[in-house]
A and B are shown apart, each in its own frame.
Chain A
């Protein structure tokens, strides 16, 4: 019994406590799970739940555009399609959220694959424009068929995620944690088991070289579109059931841009970047909204924060912090805390003397 405990403790010490970034991530998830113990104020729970949903959305954009470099300006397409299909299934067939959210996510995957088809033909800014136009086209259709889609007001009367706000909170947070860990593992470029992360990096850096090395870039790009669509879809489905309304605002241009802005602020091509970005910016904006003057200037401040992040921390906040806290061993590439002088595994000197 004790040996198992030692094993787990040893693993935590070696894999988590030794790396500052992982300590922060671990503490973050623990805090997130412990929030309902500290406060049960519905207002705070609501903000954190929405933040969590948007963090998942931002991370899914990062998975597609940050890692593969396929600049997608219409991520809201996946979110909106999933929100609408979840809502339609729930309202017309009275299915429970456990069925509608997966169905919505699968709808988002299908749409992701359809949207990915132009990605095989067009590149760069052309692709950005094509992806930008899909949600706008869909918005036009939503307004033309108000009987089916509810038009400008959207679909309302969707059932709750669960009876109590606390269990809704846990459903969202656990889904979020699992999804983020899956995305992080999926895109991990140094993983020995899943090669996808490395391939996606290669496609972003130089697509032609990746093709010449025998990588089926078409397949991997479509895969990225599908996976990103799936997680955006999960976020969209959760959003529809949590807010109990699915409207055209889920397809808005500004909504897609927000995912980008959060990710750029937090750090692109990291997965944890957008999570940090959303968890810093979204609650801040909500707190500002409480104050009448703050409500007016909150997006002015938001734009300023973004502009200054881009000018002074172009890699994003988390990358900037990570580079201060962590150092990679030059010999064995293992991550070390910034306080160490020698690598924790191979004892090589981490910095050049003098």
Chain B
């Protein structure tokens, strides 16, 4: 039981962390509250589904085209919608809700509402600490760690990362010192969508694929981001793992837990916010405090 919780919590937390990181990145840099973020995760899963069932490609081959297609779609959405009204933060949020609905409805129209499975990348089980863990779960946990490490390297060590952090800090000054702000926005959008897509790649074989799969992670991802503090990447990873483990513990230990897991996660978020209104690692300027 303990190790079940450990591994399943790791998978759930990892998926939420991947989604939350991308969400926090685009919010921190461009102040875009992208409710369609988990929509991109869903789209990648569907591209993989199309590749493997309609075109009959092997699953591993579908990953790259699916990711590229999702990133292109994300950039088109950014250019067409977000970029034009990015000064109005609420309008951006609403338009992203509309966009997510559009994705959902188009997928419902072309695939119908039922749940579909994607076959795992690798079949079989490994024995870890006495319990059977499928290779797919191990791949999910491993690739989450690798992706998070790569993102950290990109942000902390490279020149692009420095530019991204500068724009997040102050976009006027970034513009003055010669950083192409709109190109940074595009880069961040691409990275953010790509990470969401990778989350889709990693978990599509574990969870079911359906046109409604964006809703449940969305609330938890939002809760994780807020729990960690808006704009803090490390905070949202921690928040995601806290909520991922909470969910798993509730599902395993509480009767009727499958209904309650979202409720418990959100209650934790509310309690943290009541004590620390800016989240665990959020920054708040003293004059903004009320």
A-to-B contact residues, CB < 8 Å: 71, 118, 120-123, 125-126, 128-130, 132-133, 136-137, 139-141, 143-144, 207-208, 211, 217, 253, 257, 260-261, 264, 296-297, 299-300, 302-304, 306-307, 310-311, 314
Contact = CB atoms under 8 A, between A and B. Distances in A.
Given A132-B222, A136-B266, A302 B101 contact: yes
Contact of A132 (B94, B95, B105, B219): B219
B105 A129 contact: no
A208 B287 contact: yes
A130 B99 contact: no
Q: Which 4 A-B pairs have the closest CB atoms?
A: A140-B263, A133-B266, A303-B102, A143-B259
B263 A129 contact: no
A307 B88 contact: no
14 contacts: A71-B90, A126-B230, A130-B270, A132-B222, A136-B262, A136-B266, A137-B267, A140-B260, A144-B259, A207-B290, A253-B219, A264-B91, A300-B105, A306-B95
Interface string B242-259: 000000000000001001
Q: Residue among B97, B219, B222, B287 with the most chain A CB within 10 A? A: B97
Nearest to B106: A300
Given A133-B266, A300-B102, A300-B109, A314 B277 contact: no
Given A136-B263, A144-B260, A299-B101, A311 B81 contact: yes
Given A133-B223, A137-B266, A260 B97 contact: yes
A140 B264 CA distance: 9
Contacts of B75: none
Q: Residue among A121, A139, A208 with the most chain B CB within 10 A? A: A121
A324 B215 CA distance: 39
B101 A303 contact: yes
Nearest to B225: A129
B98 interface: yes
B79 to A, nearest CB: 12
B176 interface: no
A257 B287 contact: no
B59 interface: no
B274 interface: yes
Contact of A310 (B94, B263, B273): B94
B214 to A, nearest CB: 11
Interface string B42-84: 0000000000000000000000000000000000000001001
Nearest to B84: A311
A251 to B, nearest CB: 12
Contacts of A143: 256, 259
